Amino acid sequence: MTSANFTPATAGLAGSDTPPPASAPRDTPAGARLVLGIEGMHCAACSARLEKVLGRVEGVAAARVDLASERARIDLADPPAEEGALFRAVEKAGFTAVPVADEESRLIEEDRKAAYRLRRDRAILALAALLAAPLVAPMLAAPLGLEIALPGWLALLLASAVQFGIGGRFYVSAWRSLKGGGANMDVLVALGTSAAWGASAFTVLSGGSGPLYFESAAVVITLVLLGKLLEARAKRSAAGAIRALMNLRPATARIERGDGVVEIAADLLDLGDVMVVRPGERFAADGRVLDGHSQADESLLTGESRPLEKGPGDAIIGGAVNGSGRLKVEVTALGTDSALAGIVRAVAEAQAARPRVQALVDRISTIFVPTIVAVSLLTLAVWSLGLGQPQAGFAAAVAVLVVACPCALGLATPTALMVGTGVAARHGLLIRDPDGLSRARGLAAVAFDKTGTLTEGKPTLAGRHAAPGVDPAELLRLAAAAQQGSEHPLARAVLAAHQGSPLPQPESFEALPGRGLSATVEGRRLLIGGDRLMTEKAIDTTPLDTTADHARHQGHSLLWIAEENTGGARLLGLLTAHDPLKPGAAQALQALKARGLKVAVLSGDSPDAVAATLKGLPVDLIRAHILPADKADEIARLRHQVGGPVAMVGDGVNDAPALAAADLSIAIGQGSDVALESAALTLMHGEPQAVATSLDLARAIHRKIAQNLFWAFGYNVLAVPAAAAGYLSPMIAGAAMAFSSVSVVSNALLLRRFRADTRGEGKGALPL
């Protein structure tokens, strides 16, 4: 739950924003999650410190603060913390907390503020460059044989304007950071530039003749501002995937009113309204088709490349594009309940998620600034006392302060996740567990559930075979009546095949996991299920065994119907159903084989039926007749057999144990909620070809995170000693520091070059 009131921030020259009014905070119940926008964070040390501060507030169970998305997620304990206490804690730590409304409103407001800040920062940067140019001019003119002498008092005025006017934001941020008990990157910038400005000002005011470092201080501030501007532009670009999703919903909708059709704002739609959608228009809300036939293009929402046929009764996702027909659609979901809002929410949560490696980065960030200050002082001491060169030591000490970059460390993982999850959403993939990205790299095998994952999951009745003395129509009627409460695909096939009179309601119903069900209809106790249930109940199926064998060899599923009574149980008949493979199943499995992976299929059907269904497919291992509870054990057995990590792909509630047991879990987005929540990766459409693409993309994101961390750590490991040794002037150090942060974000943006491999040749990702 979050506060519905939102107060736009107004930023000053120093980058601070007006805090929310006192009326914004309110009470939130225990167990809820509160999301706050956080303003004023500049590096990983900021987010790590604020996370500790919030975690110490009474009534907070856990707190996570993300630098890239600038938000805090706070899980409340029992009794819960008051929101006012959280706002005060954030302010005391030196930041500003902003209450947010629903996720979509929050993202829209954040984007508006980001655009404003970019305009503001461009103007500030231009002013800084204008003031710094005369200070740098003598140094630039010297190699050309020109001599430009700038009076000391003028240099002092220009440098002071940059240092305290434009650079005032660094002092404000540094003070807030220190007051909150930590130290961020701006502490280093403020210390380094203040030292350079202070030494130069003393020389000018005392009438001395020593070297001046005004240009170093001014240029460092200008370069840091340039780096922050480029970084902000790149971060806003990284968030473009969410903006693109939000922009899919049209601003207006045409609905039936009385005898006519009127156009209204999409925000004014209500449940039950009937939208009239013409060819080529976007659906303004989720709904159900009442009249008409057309196709819906959901490619930008779910990654589904083919337009889907839509007719009366079919579901529509808001934001999809209508095809060639005119449709009447009843609105069934709005706002935060819509599919589009759910996708936006899932992408935003994935972008704010924290892999385990980030915990190490956070710990390093908390000690980074004090360590750099100590190195800077040591550098000054060694040069001055040990080498007898205090001027060179001073320049080297300033360079150490300026060159160090905790920002690159803090941005390395979040920006790669931010860009990667956006690219993933464009391909119909939601990343729910960022640690799953690393597990995708070393997979040895991929296991598939058969029904609904490789097959359509919409079986149709293929045969109706009654036992001697049983009426076939009565057999189907009893089977349909008994399964009215079941969500199993075979139950839906039986109900769809029944075309008779209204069905009686069962007096009792009991699901028998992995075996079938037991129900009482019109006083008759029925048993409906597969071979295992018949064996368990010792029911003689001899009269229909030949028929059953023939059906199995055709790949059909069997549904036995028997009746229990005091004298035992007798067979009533057999229903067979056909569930065809999805069109892309063979290509999907071949794509995985091309990537060097073993392919396994797990199914509760008989071995003959599974083998017939999968005939001709590149499958290495088949496990049939498996109970749902045993699927997790099969994953462990498969892991041992292939000698490496195993991924599981499934769609149903029966897959949840196997998904949880797998090293990497992938759920088909049209499956059950339990399966979706159990999975690290979720495919928003049911096409198995996307499994290989999801693995390619997961590996690409993990590779980007590794590259960014390597660069961020490597940069600091090399740059700080180089600065301490005197190889970097303060100006060069400032440029290097700005480049470090920008390069991390820019490298993450390269993920947008990712293209899916549609040929199944294992070449999905471009070299990154």
Asked whether residue 108 is domain-assigned, the answer is no
Would the pLDDT of 23 be above 50? no
- Which residues, in sequence order, are CB contacts of 714 under 8 Å at separation 6+? none
Dihedrals φ, ψ of 572, to 5°? -100, -35
Give the residue-averaged pLDDT of 358-382. 83
* CATH at 51: 3.30.70.100
Give the residue-averaged pLDDT of 21-42. 62
SS3 (DSSP) at 252: strand
Predicted local distance difference test score (pLDDT) of residue 102: 53
Among 252-256, 335-339, 639-643, whose mean pLDDT is lowest? 335-339
Q: Which amino acid is at 631?
A: K
Would the pLDDT of 615 be above 80? yes
Cis peptide before 25 (omega within 30 of 0): no
Shared domain for 231 and 355, answered yes or no, is: yes
Portion of the chain with pLDDT greater than 70, in percent: 86
**CA 563 – CA 526 distance, rounded (Å):** 5
189 and 369 in contact (C-beta within 8 Å)? Answer: no
pLDDT band at residue 2, thresholds of 50, 70 and 90?
very low
- Give the Å distances, CA to CA, from 713 to 254, 512, 702, 708: 55, 55, 17, 9
Shared domain for 452 and 401, answered yes or no, is: no
Of 578, 611, 642, the residue at which a domain comes to its end is 578
pLDDT band at residue 353, thresholds of 50, 70 and 90?
low
| Average pLDDT score over the chain | 81
- Which residues, in sequence order, are CB contacts of 268 under 8 Å at separation 6+? none
* CATH at 653: 3.40.50.1000
Listing DSSP states for 298-341 in one string gives -HHHH---SPEEE-TT-EE-TT-EE-SS-EEEEEEE-GGGSHHH
At 50, list the tokens: 């604020």
Instruction: Count the domains in the chain.
Output: 5
Would the pLDDT of 19 be above 50? no
> Is the pLDDT higher at 349 or at 587?
587
Among 6-15, 369-378, 582-591, whose mean pLDDT is lowest? 6-15
Shared domain for 516 and 557, answered yes or no, is: yes
* CATH at 262: 2.70.150.10
- The total of other beta-carbon atoms located within 10 Å of residue 679's CB is 29
> Is the pLDDT higher at 468 or at 183?
468
Active site residues: 449
741 and 186 in contact (C-beta within 8 Å)? Answer: no
Shared domain for 651 and 714, answered yes or no, is: no
Asked whether residue 22 is domain-assigned, the answer is no
**CA 455 – CA 405 distance, rounded (Å):** 52
Asked whether residue 320 is domain-assigned, the answer is yes
Asked whether residue 232 is domain-assigned, the answer is yes
**CA 480 – CA 144 distance, rounded (Å):** 93
At 520, list the tokens: 């009482």
Shared domain for 469 and 562, answered yes or no, is: yes
pLDDT band at residue 722, thresholds of 50, 70 and 90?
very high
Dihedral of CA atoms 629, 633, 635, 641 in degrees, nearest 10, equals: -150
Asked whether residue 712 is domain-assigned, the answer is yes
Among 104-108, 222-226, 373-377, whose mean pLDDT is lowest? 104-108
* CATH at 533: 3.40.1110.10
Shared domain for 276 and 326, answered yes or no, is: yes
Of 628, 663, 679, the residue at which a domain comes to its end is 679
Asked whether residue 425 is domain-assigned, the answer is no
Predicted local distance difference test score (pLDDT) of residue 242: 65
pLDDT band at residue 593, thresholds of 50, 70 and 90?
very high
pLDDT band at residue 351, thresholds of 50, 70 and 90?
low
**pLDDT tens digits for range 414-434:** 888 888 888 888 887 888 788
The length of the chain is: 768
Unique residue bearing structure tokens 């905070």: 25
Give the residue-averaged pLDDT of 22-30. 45
Give the residue-averaged pLDDT of 431-447. 85
Asked whether residue 765 is domain-assigned, the answer is no
Predicted local distance difference test score (pLDDT) of residue 511: 82
Shared domain for 559 and 607, answered yes or no, is: no
Would the pLDDT of 361 be above 80? no
Would the pLDDT of 706 be above 70? yes
Which one, of 663, 673, 672, lies nearest residue 695 by Cα? 663
Predicted local distance difference test score (pLDDT) of residue 669: 65
622 and 610 in contact (C-beta within 8 Å)? Answer: yes
**pLDDT tens digits for range 249-304:** 888 899 998 888 888 888 888 888 999 999 888 999 999 999 999 988 876 666 56
The neighbouring-strand residues paired with 647 are: 446, 664
Predicted local distance difference test score (pLDDT) of residue 596: 92
**pLDDT tens digits for range 724-733:** 999 988 878 8
pLDDT band at residue 10, thresholds of 50, 70 and 90?
very low
534 and 541 in contact (C-beta within 8 Å)? Answer: yes
Predicted local distance difference test score (pLDDT) of residue 257: 85
Shared domain for 90 and 236, answered yes or no, is: no
Would the pLDDT of 652 be above 80? no
3-state secondary structure 83-139: HHHHHHHHHHCCCEEEECCCHHHHHHHHHHHHHHHHHHHHHHHHHHHHHHHHHHHHH
pLDDT band at residue 222, thresholds of 50, 70 and 90?
confident
Which one, of 609, 615, 664, lies nearest residue 446 by Cα? 664
Asked whether residue 466 is domain-assigned, the answer is yes
**598-602 sheet: strands from edge to edge:** 429-431, 681-683, 664-668, 646-650, 445-449, 598-602, 621-623
Would the pLDDT of 26 be above 50? no
Of 528, 552, 578, the residue at which a domain comes to its end is 578
Per DSSP, helices labelled H in 306-465 are 339-352, 356-381, 390-403, 406-426, 436-439
> Is the pLDDT higher at 157 or at 73?
157
Residue 731's domain comprises 113-240+348-420+704-753
Query: With DSSP H G I counted as helix, E B as strand and the rest as coil, what are the percentages for the chain, rounded to 5?
Result: 50, 20, 30
Unique residue bearing structure tokens 């529509």: 316
Shared domain for 405 and 471, answered yes or no, is: no
Among 134-143, 168-177, 559-568, 614-623, whose mean pLDDT is lowest? 134-143
Shared domain for 39 and 180, answered yes or no, is: no
Shared domain for 223 and 361, answered yes or no, is: yes
Shared domain for 741 and 642, answered yes or no, is: no
Portion of the chain with pLDDT greater than 90, in percent: 22
Q: How far from each other are the two terminal CA atoms of the chain, in whole angstroms?
A: 39
Give the residue-averaged pLDDT of 147-164. 87
Which one, of 119, 121, 99, lies nearest residue 8 by Cα? 99
Dihedral of CA atoms 493, 495, 497, 499 in degrees, nearest 10, equals: -170
Would the pLDDT of 683 be above 70? yes
Dihedrals φ, ψ of 598, to 5°? -75, 150
Predicted local distance difference test score (pLDDT) of residue 20: 37
**pLDDT tens digits for range 454-484:** 888 888 999 999 999 999 999 999 999 999 8
- The total of other beta-carbon atoms located within 10 Å of residue 196's CB is 30
Would the pLDDT of 27 be above 60? no
Among 357-366, 373-382, 633-642, 708-717, whose mean pLDDT is lowest? 357-366
Among 8-22, 321-335, 397-411, whose mean pLDDT is lowest? 8-22
- Which residues, in sequence order, are CB contacts of 431 under 8 Å at separation 6+? 350, 353, 417, 420, 421, 424, 437, 680, 681, 698, 701
